[in-house]
């Protein structure tokens, strides 16, 4: 039997959560009250995400956001790397930027960097653009594109949080395209191809997440 992919696991988790919250919400559907509103809202949000993952997420990379602790670590690594006195902005690309939480945190902390999020799925892309229009920062932009055809040659740093097979394949694309010295930070999944990790950081979250660091030769 083949093991379930991360995407299937995520769908299973959303399904179980939706069933559980649905059971909790049932009495409030029969007798509506303000006390039941938070449960109904959570149930609605989880069920909508479940429907999105099952019907619209055709490329099967889970649309999970990077945790707060991991965001902090990624931002700290990039802060050390970017020279604030440099004449040209430090270019950072988030490949598969989802709803933009990580890209936003990076751009907000590094005002001299130029951050681009690349996201294929329309709904998270539109959410991220709406948030950027409302709250900035101005050094952040998004492109709704397939990252396999996105040109990464200008990047000074790449961040990614994908799925095991996608990260393996992405290693080959990045090895062909990146300029010498470019830094790659891969959340959880190691890159495939001829990459040698310069460092692996463990983030002390309940899941002991790993951040894989690489430098293009
Ligand atoms: C795990 S989420 C990471 C979101 C964000 N980078 C973060 O760390 O919070 C991965 C994202 O990659 C996107 N994705 C998957 N395949 C893609 C492709 N071929 N082109 C662009 N985005 C893609 C998915 O839609 C999903 O939003």
Atom of ligand 1 nearest to the CA of 98: 27
- Domain segments of the chain as ranges: 6-56, 68-215
Instruction: Using the predicted structure, report yes or no on whether residue 70 has a pLDDT greater than 90.
Output: yes
pTM (predicted TM-score):
0.82
> pLDDT at residue 1 above 60?
no
Per-residue pLDDT tens over the stretch 81-95: 998 788 899 999 999
Please give the C-alpha separations between residue 60 and each of 49, 52, 53, 101, 121, in angstroms, as whole numbers. 13, 11, 8, 20, 10
Closest ligand 1 atom to 57 CA: 25
Work out the pLDDT band at 59, boundaries 50, 70, 90. low
Residues near ligand 1 (Cβ within 6 A): 59, 61-66, 94, 96-98, 101-102, 118-121, 124, 146-148, 161-162
The CATH label, of 3.40.50.150, 3.40.430.10, 3.40.50.1820, 3.30.70.120, for the domain at 68-215 is: 3.40.50.150
Is the model more confident about 205 or about 45? 45
pLDDT tens digit sequence for 10-43: 888 889 999 999 999 888 888 878 888 889 999 9
Give the other-Cβ count within 10 Å of 181's Cβ: 11
Q: How far apart are CA 49 and CA 88, in angstroms?
A: 39
* Nearest ligand 1 atom, CA 117: 6
């Amino acid at each position: 039997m083949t093991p379930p992919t991360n995407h299937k696991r995520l769908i299973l988790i959303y399904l179980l959560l939706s069933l559980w919250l649905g059971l909790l919400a049932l009495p409030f559907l029969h007798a509506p009250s303000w006390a039941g509103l938070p449960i109904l809202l959570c149930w609605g949000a989880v069920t909508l995400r479940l429907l999105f993952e099952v019907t619209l997420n055709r490329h099967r990379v889970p649309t999970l956001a990077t945790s707060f602790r991991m965001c902090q670590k990624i931002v700290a690594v990039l802060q050390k790397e970017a020279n604030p006195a440099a004449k040209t902005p430090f270019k950072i690309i988030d490949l598969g930027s989802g709803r933009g939480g990580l890209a936003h945190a990076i751009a907000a902390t590094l005002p001299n960097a130029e951050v681009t999020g690349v996201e294929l799925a329309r709904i998270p892309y539109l959410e991220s653009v709406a948030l950027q229009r409302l709250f900035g920062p101005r050094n952040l932009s998004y492109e709704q594109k397939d990252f396999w055809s996105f040109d990464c040659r200008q990047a000074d740093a790449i961040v990614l949080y994908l799925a095991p097979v996608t990260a393996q394949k992405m290693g080959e694309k990045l090895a062909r395209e990146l300029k010498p010295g470019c830094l790659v930070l891969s959340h959880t999944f190691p890159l495939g191809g001829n990459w040698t990790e310069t460092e692996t950081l463990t983030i002390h979250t309940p899941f002991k997440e790993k951040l894989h660091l690489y430098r293009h030769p």
